[in-house]
Structure 1
């Protein structure tokens, strides 16, 4: 049975939001799960932003990440290679990686380019669970993670807007979507 990697990022922001180009990763959370959503392993690290190392009050309140945690964190150029080393042992079993929406993928691609980092995730299929969930439920528009869990009859576990917690909650929705993915693949292979 293959594994899925569910990634969630927290990034610098201000009330009203910043464009993705202005945001920097401050926390990486990844939950490696089986197709049934059961966690096999996980990765979590804080990341020190380079352009705006001081978090806004809004960002600290939203994420519950302290300035002290960020001050003692390493920059992405040090953290990302740690992530890649962690992931390499799991790569042979990896079917794909997923996130709630397209933001996490776009943010990672932007940061890889900005810092000239390489990633094995480039060559692995990405699944936008937010879009797939809304398609499967025939929703008028995509919903947030908390609402999606409620629609699935699940409660959010833990503190929202923390990377590993959000990744783990996202992974709980994976079993509801993956049967559709494997069915769609079988239909296209006929």
Structure 2
């Protein structure tokens, strides 16, 4: 078996007061990527900041929600260069699939692909919604939150929430408890993109 890739994104945001907020208007400002074995051992973990182009100034709402400052994104590469850096960091790994907590991350990357014809290489891999894996694993139809999933597995959150690498790292910590459920979904072939 190959490796699993856990991805979390942070993006520009402005809250309800700033008007509609959809993946077609938002821009990625951070990639968090964690490479894990099927046993849950972390092999690689990194963050890649991105400078937004369409809305280059972060809103006060965004800076409050996501601990990323304007100066941090000002010094970051634009999306195309950031994606190239992510691809380079992940080159050499043989991934079976990539996971994210929910469907937002896949939808955001698909939107960027439509807008710019640029996508990280991993977007072509099967995507698994880790939140759905957890719900299936627990046999619950209720809404699942990452903090609750960690607590149910005897763990607590580590690192700064809403920083992409820390978020992806915490999701990846669940792999050792759910690798069987991940494998079942992967083998079933039911990894079609979330609409």
After TM superposition, the score normalised by the length of structure 1 is: 0.89
Q: CA deviation at 1:118?
A: 4.4
- Aligned-CA RMSD value: 2.0
CA distance in 1, matches of 2:178, 2:79: 31
Q: Is the 8 A contact 2:10 2:29 kept in 1?
A: yes
Counting helix residues as a fraction of each chain, which structure ranks higher? 1
SS at match of 1:10: strand
| Aligned match of 1:9 | 9
After TM superposition, the score normalised by the length of structure 2 is: 0.87
SS at match of 2:108: helix
CA distance in 1, matches of 2:186, 2:100: 20
Once the two structures are overlaid, the 10-residue window that deviates more, 42-51 or 157-166, is: 42-51
Q: Is the 8 A contact 1:129 1:177 kept in 2?
A: no
Structure 1 residue runs of 5 or longer lacking an equivalent are none
Q: 1:43 aligns with which of 42, 46, 59?
A: 46
Q: Is the 8 A contact 2:9 2:164 kept in 1?
A: yes
Q: Is the 8 A contact 1:129 1:174 kept in 2?
A: no
Query: Matched residue pairs, number?
Result: 186
1:94–1:184: structure 2 CA closer, same or farther, 3 Å change rule? Answer: closer
What's the CA shift string for 1:93-122, capped at 9, x where partnerless?
211111101110111111122111144324
Q: CA deviation at 1:184?
A: 6.1
Structure 2 residue runs of 5 or longer lacking an equivalent are 190-195
| Aligned match of 2:84 | 81
CA distance in 1, matches of 2:50, 2:57: 12
